């Protein structure tokens, strides 16, 4: 977050502004009692979470405050429904961006995400811990754009960059690898990857391509190729059952690695898009091997060569997705199911996964290495550079 936004949010947090009761004023606790819109079973949790926010000992930081604000508005009022403030109305613009960034995220999901976020902020030593239900999330520190929590023997890795549709930055690749390594060694039995906000993930952050090292584009491409190889290897080698909870649209690498997961649950809002040719790139995440195997070569070609976007239903029919759930009950149904699975004997699950995957591992590593090698030259091609420039100059979107 830029210094200007930091200053803005600091000012915006000043108590005198809270009293000014403008439309954008940050005051979730006050608004709770007047809104009355969140009536589902999670209303109580939602109220508790808002109380916990008031009791936080440590300032959670401006970025988190913006996320809390946006989730609160989305949970109580739905998608952003107010005009975009002018460019110089910095305070309201920052808040509008955060809220608007949640897109059409359903109220129920926003409520759930709000509760999750607050719960992750309220460590066991916080004053509010007495209000946290037993077994509530314990947050793992050290991640900037992930929220990693453990509860009910499930480690959840939440991509937490909703205003950028959870696009994966270079730092996030490293953070995800670290989180997977930690999850492989902790006492959880299942690991879940999911997204915050209205998207699951919009794939590789295209601004990664703008950070060119002294060795130029070639060095950049080499570094990216190594990074990608290591990243995908972590998924190939992950020893515990790995579940993707695809809460919204998925793009690029977030789709291709799904072939390396054990279960993929999707909201009916989710879509699956691998526009590699549009981007002058080529498949990764072992999808050049797993997709034809999962769905047959012609369906795989439609996705990987022609960039056909699949609905959740189509992805399920083609075997990429395990089951689709209505968005309104997605979180509830999926987490109930996963909690039940997490009670199964962990060693049996681990060994079953090992025996299912074992014969493929060597092949997957070879495919991964080859895909990264092909991308090494793709990333230096004019086709790829033009596609990135077009996106960055806002000439092209998917
Ligand atoms: C080193 C490893 C390399 C691995 C190789 C991986 C390959 C891939 O993953 S290829 C796929 C790359 N992804 C894309 O091409 C998606 C690009 N994004 C879009 O086309 C659109 O943003 C969208 C369709 C995903 C969403 O459109 P919309 O709902 O209209 O929302 P906005 O475009 O306004 O997005 C909000 C905000 O987020 C930024 N953003 C979204 N996706 C990305 C991204 N992939 N990279 C960088 N930034 C992204 C977008 O720019 C907006 O930012 P602001 O303008 O600052 O608000």
Dump pLDDT digits (tens) for 347-372: 999 999 999 999 999 999 999 999 99
> pLDDT grade, residue 233 (50/70/90)?
very high
CA-nearest of 260, 246, 238 to 316 is 246
Please give the Cα distance from 44 to 346 (Å, whole number): 32
Distance CA 66, CA 72 (A): 10
Which is more confidently placed, 375 or 106?
375
Q: Residue 115: its pLDDT value, please?
A: 83
Q: What is the mean pLDDT of the chain?
A: 84
CA distance 243 to 183: 13
Average of pLDDT values for 192-200?
A: 98
**What is the pLDDT at residue 211?**
86
- Residues 6+ away with beta carbon under 8 Å from 60: 68, 121
Tell me the per-residue pLDDT of 248-287, one tens digit each, with 9 for 90 and over: 999 999 999 999 999 999 999 999 999 999 999 999 999 9
Residues with CB under 6 A from ligand 1: 164-165, 167, 202-207, 224, 227-228, 251-253, 279, 284, 391, 397-398
Query: What is the structure's pLDDT at 44?
Result: 76
* pTM given for the model: 0.72
Distance 275 CA to ligand 1 centre (A): 12
The pLDDT of residue 204 is above 90: yes
Q: pLDDT at residue 174 above 50?
A: yes
What share of the chain has pLDDT > 70, as a percent?
84
- Tens digit of pLDDT for each residue in 20-71? 333 333 333 323 222 333 345 578 788 888 877 777 767 787 777 888 899 9
Nearest to 360 by CA among 264, 236, 208: 236
Tokens of 143: 């991640």
The pair of three-digit structure tokens given for residue 259, joined into one six-digit string: 């072939």
Is pLDDT of 4 > 50? no
The DSSP code for 207 is: G
From 87, 96, 101, 202, the mutation candidate for ligand 1 (largest count of ligand atoms within 8 A of CB) is 202
pLDDT the model gives residue 331: 97
Question: For ligand 1, what atom is nearest to the CA of residue 391?
Answer: 17
Alpha carbon distance 75, 37 (integer Å): 8
**What residue owns the CA closest to ligand 1's atom 50?**
164
Nearest CA to ligand 1 atom 39: 164
Give the pLDDT mean for 367-378. Answer: 98
Query: What is the distance in A from the centroid of ligand 1 to the CA of 203?
Result: 7
Measured distance CA(268)–CA(274) in Å, rounded:
18
Note whether 165 and 197 are within 8 A (CB): yes
Decide: 245 and 265 in contact? Cβ < 8 Å: yes
Strand order in the sheet with 250-251: 250-251, 271-273, 310-311
Q: Which residues contact 112 (CB under 8 A, 6 or more apart)?
A: 42, 331
pLDDT at 137: 60
- Please provide residue 165's backbone torsions phi and psi, each rounded to the nearest 5 degrees: 55, 30
Q: How confident is the model at residue 291 (pLDDT cuts 50, 70, 90)?
A: very high
The set of residues, in sequence order, having a beta carbon less than 8 Å from that of 338 and lying 6+ positions away, is 154, 190, 192, 243, 245
- Which atom in ligand 1 lies closest to the alpha carbon of residue 398? 20
321 has a pLDDT exceeding 70: yes
Bigger pLDDT: 8 or 167? 167
User: Edge to edge, what strands does the sheet with 242-246 contain?
Assistant: 138-140, 146-151, 154-159, 190-195, 242-246, 263-267, 323-325
Query: Which of 2-16, 203-217, 372-386 has the lowest average pLDDT?
Result: 2-16
Cα(392) to ligand 1 centroid in Å equals 9
Calculate how far, in angstroms, residue 286's C-alpha sits from the geometric centre of ligand 1: 22
What was the pLDDT predicted at 121? 78
What does the pLDDT average to over 135-141? 65
Q: What is the pLDDT of residue 192?
A: 98
pLDDT in tens, 91-123: 777 788 889 889 888 888 888 888 878 877 775
Closest CA to 173 of 113, 224, 244, 248: 224
Give residue 126's pLDDT: 36
Ligand 1 geometric centre to CA of 324 (Å): 24
**How far is the centre of ligand 1, averaged over its atoms, from the C-alpha of 190 (Å)?**
29
């Amino acid at each position: 977050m830029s210094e200007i936004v930091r200053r803005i949010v600091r000012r915006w947090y000043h108590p005198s502004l809270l009293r000014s009761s403008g439309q954008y004023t940050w005051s979730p606790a006050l608004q709770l009692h007047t809104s009355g819109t969140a009536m589902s079973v999670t209303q109580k949790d939602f109220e508790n979470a808002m109380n916990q926010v008031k009791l936080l000992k440590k300032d959670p930081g401006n970025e988190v405050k913006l996320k809390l604000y946006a989730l609160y508005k989305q949970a109580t009022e739905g998608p952003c429904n107010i005009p975009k403030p002018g460019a110089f109305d910095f305070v309201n613009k920052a808040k509008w961006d955060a809220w608007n960034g949640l897109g059409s995220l359903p109220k129920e999901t926003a409520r759930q995400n709000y509760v999750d976020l607050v719960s992750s902020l309220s460590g066991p030593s916080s004053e509010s811990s007495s209000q946290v239900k037993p077994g509530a999330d314990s947050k793992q520190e050290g991640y900037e754009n992930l929220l990693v929590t453990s509860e009910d023997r499930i480690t959840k890795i939440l991509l937490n960059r909703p205003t950028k549709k959870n696009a994966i930055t270079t730092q996030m690749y490293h953070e995800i690898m670290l989180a997977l390594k930690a999850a492989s060694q902790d006492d959880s039995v299942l690991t879940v990857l999911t997204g915050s906000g209205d998207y699951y993930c919009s794939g590789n952050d295209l601004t990664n391509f703008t950070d060119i090292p002294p060795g130029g584009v070639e060095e950049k491409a080499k570094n990216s190729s190594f990074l990608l190889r290591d990243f995908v290897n972590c998924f190939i080698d992950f020893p515990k059952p790995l579940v993707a909870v695809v809460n919204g649209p998925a793009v690029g690498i977030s789709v291709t690695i799904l072939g390396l997961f054990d279960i993929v649950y999707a909201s009916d809002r989710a879509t699956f898009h691998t526009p590699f040719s549009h981007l002058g790139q080529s498949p990764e995440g072992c999808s050049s091997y797993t997709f034809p195997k999962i769905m047959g070569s012609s369906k795989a070609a439609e996705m990987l060569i022609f960039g056909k976007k699949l609905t959740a239903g189509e992805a399920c029919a083609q075997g990429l997705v395990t089951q689709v759930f209505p968005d309104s009950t997605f979180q509830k149904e999926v987490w109930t199911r996963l909690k039940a699975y997490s009670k199964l004997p962990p060693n049996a699950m681990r060994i079953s996964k090992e025996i299912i995957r074992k014969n493929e591992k060597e092949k997957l590593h070879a495919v991964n290495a080859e895909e990264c090698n092909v991308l090494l030259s793709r990333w230096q091609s004019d086709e790829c550079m033009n596609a990135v420039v077009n996106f960055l100059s806002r000439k092209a979107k998917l």
